[in-house]
Amino acid sequence: MILHCGARSLDLRIPRVMGVMNLTPDSFSDGGRLWREGRPQLDLILRRAERMQADGADILDLGGESTRPGALPVSPQEECDRVLPAVEAIAARLDTVISIDTSTPELIAAAASAGAGLINDVRALQRPGAIEAAASTGLPVCLMHMQGEPGTMQKAPAYQDVCADVQAFLLDRVEACVSAGIPRERVLLDPGFGFGKTLQHNLDLFRGLGAMVALGYPVLIGVSRKSMIGRLLGRDTRERLAGGLALATLAVHAGVSVVRTHDVRATRDVLAMVAAIRKE
């Protein structure tokens, strides 16, 4: 499948790497290094983007609103102020697909005009006006499942059947997108590991990735450095690379199209090895 991302395209018959760039002052991973003194650090952002591209990132995912457990929302203006200068700077410098990790209609529309090629929404375009804004851009969208909101999502999440419930939600959102004018071939799905899910939910959901892939839409996963790895292995955030790479390998074997990661170079190596063995 060829995914058309504005002026650029991605061949999703080959698993792709999405590099994470958090433009927030309270990032659990980046520690706010790309946002200081009330403004984006564009020199640092460009260096990070260039390094990620050199390391093998096919997509750069820029986010200006933290979605870690317990995170509070930010205003649309603040989110735009964090993200748009970075989009413009990267689009002017690098030949890469820029993804916008946002639920905010104003940023969806403005980022598309600034050079973004993909909309990655943890709320699956459920904010008022978001689905209309996304449809107006003509860009592909990634719909993620989340139970609740970041501030409350880890307070006793419950499902009848986590795999069936997540799939039903995402398929319902696909139909909403189609009704709004977003073609099916521009939709990706993300099961939303860690977003309103216990450790057991995450493990069950991971075991069911093959069934999600079988729905016929490209699947994106984000498990890099997440708490599910820490709880299983007893590792803090900076010591979760091995666990994340194991999950990336299993995900690609299950047919996942995009792996979202903080550790681009190592993840690219894993995907290249899997691809070489599959080719043989």
Q: Which residues are catalytic?
A: 226, 260
Angle ∠(21,126,202) on CA atoms, nearest 5:
60
Query: 173: left (phi > 0), else alpha (psi -120 to 50), else beta?
Result: alpha
Please list, residue by residue across 99-130, b when 16 or more beta carbons sit within 10 angstroms of its beta carbon and e when fewer do: bbbbbbbbbbbbbbebbbbbbbbbbbbebeeb
Q: Any idea of the CA torsion for 49, 184, 123, 97, to the nearest 10 degrees?
A: 10
Closest CA to 21 of 33, 9, 12: 33
